[in-house]
Amino acid sequence: MNVGNALKVTCVGFAGGVLLRVVQMLFFYDYETGFYTDNGLMAWICLGFVVISSLLACVMCFRSRRYFGPYVPRKNTALGVVSVLSGAALLASSVLQFLDYMNYQKTGASAYDSTKRGAIHVAFIVACLLFGVIQFYVSLGFFQGKNNLARVPLLYLAAVVWGVAYLVLVYVFYAKSSSFVENFFAVIGGASTLLALFYLCKLLAGVDEEGAAKRLFVAGICAVIFTVTYSFANLALLLLGKSYSGEIPAMTQLSSLGVAFFLLVFLVTFRKYSLRRTPKSGPQRIAGREREVSSGQKAGEEKKSRGGRRFRPN
């Protein structure tokens, strides 16, 4: 078991989850009544597949013989591009929600249920704006091979604030489907995304790198599988003219989907540059052994230097 295989299971998990969910919503869901036509059997199969895939990938990360070290800045064009795209989605979501909210203040009509609670809605708009700007800022470091957060490590807390606002928004307003499976996908996806962004913030700030990296992989895998399965399938169905009342608004789902793909690319590239094989005796024991060897070598050199003179008789 290793991290590479865990990431492969992750990709299989969200790809299979998207396929099963699209089939479920196309053939086993009644959009007029809001109930399943097969008593929810296909929905539970989809949920079971996603849960088993995420748990398997997480266990493989924990049992991997890889050392989760600190983040090593490298020039990473793919991660920079995904960061820009996720930032653009966040900024677009912020702008559209702001315009809708201004229209709501004038006419009382809105496309978002959260506008009825002004404080929560405005907080989410501001969080989207800040997180989008930060994503553009960190993308410059990915393109240049630098960690732009080294001098301002707390700047990425804006991502954590966005994760909190997104989870509150989903739990209060959009986890209202008659199906437990739909609500579970929405809430668990938001919660795992929040945890992944929190551990990513710690990793980029240089706080407990080993523990933060390991937990980032676990939370990030769950965030990617649940969010992509739910949001990507919903957006694909929306293009086919299929939507239901408990669904999160399209721009909000698009922004969360962009964050999920950003986490996926970060995990893949982090595995490539910042993971190395751990010896059987462990990194600390090997380091201690190296110190012992180096001290022994120094003692030997000093001994040779003291006893290096030869006796020459007169």
- Mean pLDDT score, 34-45: 86
Distance, CA of 218 to CA of 192 (rounded, Å): 9
Domain boundaries, the chain: 3-277
100, pLDDT greater than 80: yes
The pLDDT value recorded for residue 71 is 77
The pLDDT value recorded for residue 286 is 39
Lowest mean pLDDT among 22-31, 110-119, 136-145, 304-313: 304-313
Q: 163 and 97 in contact (C-beta within 8 Å)?
A: no
Distance, CA of 262 to CA of 131 (rounded, Å): 13
222, pLDDT greater than 90: yes
3-state class (DSSP) for residue 71: coil
The pLDDT value recorded for residue 294 is 45
For all residues of the chain together, what is the average pLDDT?
Answer: 82
Residues belonging to the chain:
314
Give the Å distances, CA to CA, from 48 to 185, 188, 259, 275, 292.
11, 14, 24, 30, 51
Q: How confident is the model at residue 277 (pLDDT cuts 50, 70, 90)?
A: low
Tens digits of residue pLDDT in 40-99: 899 899 999 999 999 999 888 877 656 677 777 888 889 999 999 999 999 999 999 999
Lowest mean pLDDT among 9-13, 33-37, 217-221, 281-285: 281-285
- Mean pLDDT score, 237-241: 83
Lowest mean pLDDT among 55-69, 100-114, 206-220, 286-300: 286-300
The proportion of the chain whose per-residue pLDDT surpasses 70, expressed as a percent, equals 84
The pLDDT value recorded for residue 275 is 62
The proportion of the chain whose per-residue pLDDT surpasses 90, expressed as a percent, equals 35
Bridge partners, 66 (sequence order): 277
